[in-house]
Amino acid sequence: MFQVETEIGGRPFRLETGRVARQAHGSVLVSHGDTVVLVTVVAAEEEKEMDFLPLTVEYHEMYYAAGRIPGGYFRRELGRPSEKEVITARLIDRPIRPLFPKKWRYETQVIATVLSLDPEIDPDILAITGASAALELSPLPFEGPIAAVRIGRVNGQFVLNPTASELRESELNIVVAGSEEAIVMVEGLAREVSEAVMEEALFLAHEGLKPLLALQRELREKAGRPKMAFEEPPVDEALKSRVFELAEGGVREILKTPAKGERNRRRKTLFQEVLATLGEEVAGREAEVREYLDELEKIRMREMVLSEGRRIDGRGPEDIRPISCEVSVLPRTHGSALFSRGETQVLVVTTLGSPEEEQRLDLPGEEIFKHFILHYNFPPFCVGEVKPLRGPSRREIGHGMLAERALSPVIPGEEEFPYTIRVVSDVLESNGSSSMATVCGATLSLMDAGVPVRDMVAGIAMGLVKEGERVVVLTDILGDEDRLGDMDFKVAGTERGITAFQMDVKVAGITREIMARALEQAREARLKILEVMRQTIARPRETLSVYAPRVITLEINPEKVGQIIGPGGKTIKGIIAACGGEVKIDIEDQTGLVRIYSSNLEAAEKAAKMIEELTQEAEVGKLYLGRVTRVTDFGAFVELFPGTVGLIHISQLDHRRVRKVTDILREGDEVLVKVIDIDKAGRIKLSRKAALEESVREVEESEKTSGQ
């Protein structure tokens, strides 16, 4: 067994190997506080014929890690992964995937399993660092190490690997992964922080992760296995030169074609023409020819940007594609928007529901209730493809979560806006940054629905082309610019600052100066987009859609909650049935807060009236028409309203002396009474005599008024 340790954020950070999972090609136990993650890596023995890197990453949080038993009939984990597990698997995948050889075709699986869960320490950064460490120890070729830390900012001070308690007070929650030379991945959210704060956070995090790189190197020296011999297949320079020669003119034409569809058609035609010209020479080597064509296109695109300042669609580096915004595009939805930026288009719809429709996430470490949910759908037609429709992909879940994080800081709390809010973004066309288009469209849709968002949020995707000292930062990148460039850098925020941030870097040497330039360029673009959005809708609508549920809020005595619910829920079910089944009633037992939801306002008002009648309390000095429930020798008990009974003493029945109560009242009679006292025990004293006096007085005053 081998173990190494350092300190991060004032707590021990430990890597251990050789004790468990010894048949994996690489395995590491990562510990930080009481959180322990096992990360393993295994590669297949045989290569496969394919044109992509066959890497899969799995992340699982075991319920036993938090001392819990899973729910459901089978009481087991390892079913469909939760959103958090999907997001974390993507966080692990993104920084390690570029570090495999380009031609690696052995199926490789990285599995991170959370074995012990400290509620104060999120396992995600341990899993990222552990994946790199396991690969470093394995015989697989890997250009690591990389490591990850989280950075927060509490009371103006940056905190490395903040605890969950600190994150609740933090204005930043950013995961940063990097190598010795560079930041390679960033993911996180913020509470409208400035670009300067974000820039400083990233570079402090990069310095903070370097001890973890040294730790991995130390462990590799002690326990690493010899690396397998793997060489990239040699480049056929003669064939490559021939392909470049044949395709030069065609590639230049492709790079002058603004429309994505036409560009793809020309690309396919050029490929077929090159194959036809080369004939039998390239039989069975079609993938190699395509690779050389892609390389030529990348070279020429980058030259065009760096030398001419011109992009594929004719824009300059800082130009944003034409934007159009529409709201209320669907007649029966609660809020809707159509947002288009160039050839990227999203339809975003907002639906409002009752609090009982909020999303409940039963995670090993905690139970979360979300009243704001954003879902992102990427159907195949949006990129002109044919694919089977399955459940949401990891990419869809990741993009949806990025947009949700971007908007979360401006969503009103449940006290201010007592609705569950679901936003769905359907991508109708895609040519770059549909997730940031989703942020823009969601803002418009929420405002159209009348959700009182605190501010408008917009998002933009930035790119980079870097050759030595020549650097160009690109605003609002196309899909091809993402594919052929050096960075994909998404920033969302309000006028005041950044709310979400995601970055993947493909090259080393992203200096602080380049980062500052990219952040400032993104801010300028964001402000321009917000201005266009304001021209469509400047503030949230003051009224909700006629089809959205209305809410009526009542405050009752918490002790009377049981009266509304009734035995076995009989009373509340009766209220709902009496209102045609069109209402939902939400009751907070502790506070007595009652919320009634219905798309039919009359039904909601009827339910409110019934609840008020059930829970109303007698007030001294008020008249009530009650029903006699019991007669005794000393008086009569009168029910003022359900569950509330008072006593009329025999002396309070009439002005004259009453010998027997039954001379005046019998059981079942209706009687007008006045509340004359409520004692400390809550007993209500009633008077028929006082009620009669007040009635006579009101009649006399009415006659006087009419006589005048």
Q: Same domain for 40 and 140?
A: yes
Residues of the chain with pLDDT under 50: none
Contact present, 549 and 580 (Cβ < 8 Å): no
Phi/psi of residue 543, nearest 5 degrees:
-120, 150
315 domain residue, yes or no: no
State residue 699's pLDDT score.
62
Nearest to 463 by CA among 493, 485, 438, 491: 485
Which of 158, 191, 223 is the last residue before a domain boundary? 223
Q: Same domain for 280 and 380?
A: no
Residue 560: CATH number of its domain: 3.30.1370.10
Q: Same domain for 366 and 485?
A: yes
Residue 287: CATH number of its domain: 1.10.10.400
State residue 562's pLDDT score.
87
CB atoms within 10 A of CB 148: 28
State residue 107's pLDDT score.
97
Q: Same domain for 277 and 164?
A: no
Q: Same domain for 303 and 408?
A: no
Which are the contacts of 660, defined by CB distance < 8 A and separation ≥ 6? none
**For residue 59, how many C-alpha atoms fall within 13 Å in the half-sphere facing its CB?**
23
Q: Same domain for 181 and 269?
A: no
State residue 310's pLDDT score.
95
Q: Same domain for 292 and 343?
A: no
**Alpha-carbon separation of residue 696 from 31, 535, 691, 700, 708 (angstroms):** 84, 65, 9, 6, 19
Domain count, the chain: 5
Tell me, rounded to whole angstroms, the distance of Cα 475 from its chain centroid. Answer: 25
Q: Is the pTM of this model over 0.85?
A: yes
DSSP string for 212-278: HHHHHHHHHHHHPPPPPP--PPPP-HHHHHHHHHHHHHHHHHHTT---HHHHHHHHHHHHHHHHHHH
93 domain residue, yes or no: yes
Q: Same domain for 609 and 680?
A: no
The tens digit of pLDDT for each residue in 627-677 reads 999 999 999 999 988 778 999 999 999 988 888 999 899 999 999 999 999
71 domain residue, yes or no: yes
H or E element, residue 290? helix 286-303
402 domain residue, yes or no: yes
318 domain residue, yes or no: no
Phi/psi of residue 183, nearest 5 degrees:
-75, 135
Residue 293 domain boundaries: 237-308
Q: Same domain for 247 and 219?
A: no
Which of 563, 580, 615 is the last residue before a domain boundary? 615
Phi/psi of residue 66, nearest 5 degrees:
-110, 15
CB atoms within 10 A of CB 598: 25
- Cα separation, 140 vs 96, in Å, equals 13
Q: Same domain for 605 and 631?
A: no
State residue 53's pLDDT score.
92
State residue 284's pLDDT score.
87
SS3 512: helix
- Cα separation, 652 vs 620, in Å, equals 15
- Cα separation, 184 vs 510, in Å, equals 9
**Alpha-carbon separation of residue 161 from 10, 401, 557, 618, 686 (angstroms):** 9, 21, 45, 57, 67
The tens digit of pLDDT for each residue in 500-509 reads 999 999 887 6
Residue 678: CATH number of its domain: 2.40.50.140
How confident is the prediction for the chain on average, in pLDDT? 93
Which tokens go with 15? Answer: 């890597």
190 domain residue, yes or no: yes
Which of 479, 510, 536 is the last residue before a domain boundary? 536
State residue 702's pLDDT score.
63
Which tokens go with 70? Answer: 């899973």
CB atoms within 10 A of CB 366: 11
**Residue bearing tokens 């580096």:** 317
229 domain residue, yes or no: no
314 domain residue, yes or no: no
**Residue bearing tokens 């065009």:** 304
Q: Same domain for 30 and 125?
A: yes
Contact present, 166 and 159 (Cβ < 8 Å): yes
* C-alpha triplet 162, 166, 168: angle, nearest 5°: 125
Q: Same domain for 463 and 558?
A: no
Pick left, alpha or beta for residue 155 (phi over 0 → left; psi -120 to 50 → alpha; otherwise beta). left
**For residue 439, how many C-alpha atoms fall within 13 Å in the half-sphere facing its CB?**
33
Which tokens go with 3? Answer: 């173990």
Residue 472: CATH number of its domain: 3.30.230.70
Pick left, alpha or beta for residue 280 (phi over 0 → left; psi -120 to 50 → alpha; otherwise beta). alpha
